[in-house]
């Protein structure tokens, strides 16, 4: 365990590193030192930063990806959130680096914490931006989140249909009728707007 003063000092160090325009392997290695830090706050910050750094310098985070992925099983929801998000950002930059971890990433769709499920969708949106084809047989996973109990999950779930629909509308076509019902009847305005956006993205020639 670390004391609060030590935690604050390390966290501030990470903030300073995050302001650097340098995405070099040296910066990445300094951040990666805190993947296993005893403070969840520090770990979560380091994981988020590795995702952002990995988007810009995918090869620079290659040697840390297996260690990052281990945190998907962490008991702390915030750590799982940041981990799945980091893998999504890295996968957006270079899908092959996180391909091995797709099964465990997909498992977060059923995470007990709604914020983790929401971040799972966001991570998949990042991956689908450049590698949409891998989701062709996985759309039912996202369809299952359209009526999730978590409001943030329900607001985000149509967005994955929008992202994929812009690139592979054929994957989304089977869900258009359901998205249309949501866009017209869901009590939440943001859900309705996002569902309508998914329909437009998937049906615009």
pLDDT, tens only, 64-77: 999 999 999 999 99
Is residue 107 over pLDDT 90? yes
Looking up residue 67, the CATH number of its domain turns out to be: 1.25.10.10
pLDDT in tens, 30-49: 999 999 999 999 999 999 99
114 and 22 in a single domain? The answer is yes
Write down which residue in 108, 130, 152 finishes a domain. 130
Q: Torsions phi, psi of 91, nearest 5?
A: -65, -30
pLDDT attached to residue 24 = 86
- 16, 36, 40, 120 from 75: Cα distances, Å: 28, 13, 10, 16
Residue 88 belongs to a domain: yes
Q: Does 201 share its domain with 158?
A: yes
User: What pTM was computed for the model?
Assistant: 0.94
Closest-CA residue to 145 (of 103, 101, 114): 114
Pair (102, 189) in one structural domain: no
Judge whether 95 lies within some domain: yes
Q: What is the count of structural domains for the chain?
A: 2
Distance of CA 70 to the CA centre of its chain: 15
Span 115-130, pLDDT tens digits? 999 999 999 999 999 9
Do 82 and 120 belong together in one domain?
yes
Q: What is the 3-state secondary structure (H, E, C) of 69-82?
A: HHHHHCCCHHHHHH
| Mean of all residue pLDDT scores within the chain | 95
Q: Is the pLDDT of residue 142 over 90?
A: yes
**Model confidence band, residue 5 (pLDDT cutoffs 50, 70, 90):** confident
DSSP conformation class of 187: S
Are 160 and 121 spatial neighbours (Cβ–Cβ below 8 Å)? yes
Helix (H) or strand (E) holding 104: helix 102-107
- Asked if residue 5 is part of any domain, the answer here is no
């Amino acid at each position: 365990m670390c004391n609060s003063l030590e935690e604050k000092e390390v966290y501030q160090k990470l903030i300073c590193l995050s302001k650097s325009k340098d995405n070099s392997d040296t910066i990445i290695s300094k951040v990666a030192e805190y993947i296993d830090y005893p403070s969840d706050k520090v770990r979560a910050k380091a994981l988020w930063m590795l995702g952002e750094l990995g988007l810009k310098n995918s090869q620079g985070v290659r040697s840390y990806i297996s260690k990052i992925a281990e945190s998907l099983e962490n008991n702390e929801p915030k750590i799982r959130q940041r981990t799945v998000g980091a893998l999504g950002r890295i996968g957006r930059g270079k899908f092959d680096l996180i391909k091995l971890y797709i099964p465990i990433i997909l498992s977060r769709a059923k995470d007990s914490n709604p914020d983790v499920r929401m971040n799972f969708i966001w991570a998949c949106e990042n991956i689908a931006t450049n590698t949409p084809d891998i989701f062709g047989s996985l759309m039912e996973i996202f369809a299952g989140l359209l009526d999730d109990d978590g409001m943030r999950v329900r607001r985000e779930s149509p967005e994955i249909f929008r992202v994929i629909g812009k690139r592979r509308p054929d994957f989304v076509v089977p869900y258009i009728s359901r998205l249309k019902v949501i866009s017209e009847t869901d009590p939440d305005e943001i859900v309705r707007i996002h569902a309508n956006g998914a329909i437009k993205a998937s049906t615009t020639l």
